Structure 1
Amino acid sequence: MSQRLDRINELLRREISTVLQRDFEFAGALVTVSGVEITQDLREAKVFIGVLGGHVPNVLEQLAQKRGLIQSRIAKRVVLRCTPILDFRIDNSAERGVEMVNILEEVDKLPKAPLEEEGEDKGE
């Protein structure tokens, strides 16, 4: 991906995060924007959303209903030829990360083989 698209993706991620933080309430959920992928023609953008502690379909539905409002707020702050159409998608990477940490903690509790001492002769 080009550096220009990377910069636009990061700019959109920050601005969408700001709009969601400032203008939206998600009942009992922590909603984060983990990434944005804009198309080459800058007309559409996939917005990856992480949801912790809430009902994911409700959050997606709320974002889809307010997509026009979010796009208009973004258009005021980000100067592009045209404001991209936002497509909100779920990013489960944080959830998978927590699961992985829990698995690693369980593995760490399992009995381990005794360590060999450095001075021991091996089979001689």
Structure 2
Amino acid sequence: MRKNSVKNTRINEAVKEELSSIIRNSVKDPRIAMMTSVTEAIVAPDLKTCKVMISVLGDEKAKSDTMTGLRSSAKFIRHELAVRLNLRNTPELTFRLDESIEYGVNMSKRIDEVMEEDRKKHEVSDEQN
């Protein structure tokens, strides 16, 4: 199976959806923040490993606590994934923090601030002329 094959893409999407559901509904670890989402699941072509990108809305402590909780719940999550999905192998899960959404929000906010400053400068220069 090629890395970006249609089958691999479907497996990635199915694993992502099931992991989201498991984390939201089945995992009872209090360290995991309520605003935790799975942004991407990358399953290896041999179905042995899976990188799970996690986005957490909150401060640094919430992020580190959530990652700790997910890592300690990894075996339970993998077992639940095996029950829900009929795969030849259930992949070993590796959780990674995905800060791309937060980075995008920050950049958008900065762009808006720069645009507002630029607009104000143009208004002042127009009034002087």
Instruction: Report how many residues are paired.
Output: 114
Partner of 1:10: 13
Partner of 1:49: 54
Any gaps of 5 or more consecutive residues in structure 2?
124-129
CA deviation digits over 1:78-106, x for unaligned, max 9?
Answer: 00111100000011011011101111110
User: Which amino acid is the alignment partner of residue 31 of structure 1?
Assistant: T
CA deviation digits over 1:12-45, x for unaligned, max 9?
Answer: 0000000011023556541000001111111000
Any gaps of 5 or more consecutive residues in structure 1?
115-124
User: Hey, which of these two has a bigger chunk of helix by percent?
Assistant: 2
Structure 1: distance between partners of 2:9 and 2:74? 22
Whether the 8 Å contact between 2:50 and 2:92 is mirrored in structure 1 is: yes
**What TM-score does the superposition give when structure 1 sets the normalisation length?**
0.85
- The percentage of aligned residue pairs carrying the same residue is 31
**What TM-score does the superposition give when structure 2 sets the normalisation length?**
0.82
Which has more radius of gyration? 1
Whether the 8 Å contact between 2:22 and 2:80 is mirrored in structure 1 is: yes
Provide the alpha-carbon RMSD of the alignment.
1.6
Structure 2: distance between partners of 1:5 and 1:27? 28
Offset of residue 111 of structure 1:
3.0
